[in-house]
Amino acid sequence: MRHEQAHLIIARKPSRVLALGDLAYDRGSVNDFRRYYRPTWGAFKTKTLAIPGNHEYESSKGPVGFARSFGVFSMRDRAVDLCHGWRVVLLNEYSGNDHVDSGAVRRAARFLGADARRHPGKKLIAAWHVPRYSSGDEHGDDSTLAPLWRAAVRARVRIVLNAHDHHYERFAPVGPGHTIELISGLGGHHMRGLRDHPARGSTVRFTRTPAVLFLSLGAHGYSWTERTVTGRVVDQGAQT
């Protein structure tokens, strides 16, 4: 994270900050979190809801840096109520190493479905690290996440938040809940390029400039804005 991004966030006075994994390069060690996370995104730690990414598991000691920073409970699938009837479901598709685990994906899918059934009146956001669909030239689509994506669509999740690929991307709404996928990967480490042929459903793509995704949640809808450190708005919109 750059200081310009911190200024963007401070100016908006957010009630919550969602950290979508890969929070302290390169291996998510205790030292990496102390050197890189704490002086930057760490300014918002008391407001942060975090999920682990693959780099959190690359330390020789496993995800101990993440666990010490956010608590062991942050490694588990969990859900937190927000404002105006919104609820965010935070999911972990890893289990012991830095590769997406199909068993963990199925477990997260079951948790998401069960939580949606327990809270039928809530408007849901689901957050996990690796996107099902992506136009990023480093990773791209990942069919391993298909069970979790299908569970989100069935549960009428309004917003799916991912990272992993180092760019911003928004996908067209799908399913009965008009579920949209947002990839927010411009928050820290080096930015990457995009494939020549976009992923299915891709509507907006942007990279090469650090940026922050802002969400405003209301009783009757939500809005989003992707804003760069130069002040440029590269994507914005609203859904009722």
pLDDT for 5 beyond 90: no
Q: Identify the pLDDT of residue 3.
A: 66
Q: List, edge to edge, every strand of the sheet that includes 211-218.
A: 211-218, 221-228, 233-239
pLDDT (tens digit per residue) in 172-227: 999 999 999 999 999 877 888 899 999 999 999 999 999 999 999 999 999 999 99
Residues 6+ apart with CB under 8 A from 36: 24, 25
pLDDT for 97-106, tens place per residue? 999 999 999 9
| pTM for the structure as a whole | 0.95
Cα distance between residue 18 and residue 217, in whole Å: 14
**CA 94 to CA 75: how far, in whole Å?**
9
Cα 147 to Cα 54: distance, rounded to the nearest angstrom = 19
Q: What confidence tens digit (pLDDT) does each residue in 16-75 have?
A: 999 999 998 888 889 999 998 888 888 899 999 999 999 999 887 889 999 999 999 999
What range defines the domain where residue 192 resides? Answer: 3-239
Residue 200's pLDDT is 95
What pLDDT, on the 0 to 100 scale, is given for residue 39? Answer: 87
Mean pLDDT across 125-145: 96
Query: What CATH number is attached to the domain comprising 9?
Result: 3.60.21.10
What phi, psi does 70 have (nearest 5°)?
-120, -5
Which residues does 233 contact at the CB level (< 8 Å), separation at least 6? 225, 226, 227
Instruction: Report the number of distinct structural domains present in the chain.
Output: 1
Q: What percent of the chain has pLDDT over 70?
A: 99
Q: Which band of pLDDT confidence, cut at 50, 70 and 90, is reported for residue 138?
A: confident
Question: In 3D, which of 217, 130, 228, 132 has the Cα closest to residue 171?
Answer: 132
Report residue 14 as tokens.
Answer: 């957010």
In this predicted structure, the answer to whether residue 1 has a pLDDT above a threshold of 80 is: no
Please determine, for residue 2, whether its predicted confidence score (pLDDT) is greater than 60. Answer: no
- Output b/e per residue, 116-127; b: 16+ Cβ within 10 A: beeeeebbbbbb
Q: What gap in Å lies between CA 109 and CA 67, rounded to an integer?
A: 22
How far is Cα 101 from Cα 112, in angstroms, rounded to an integer? 16
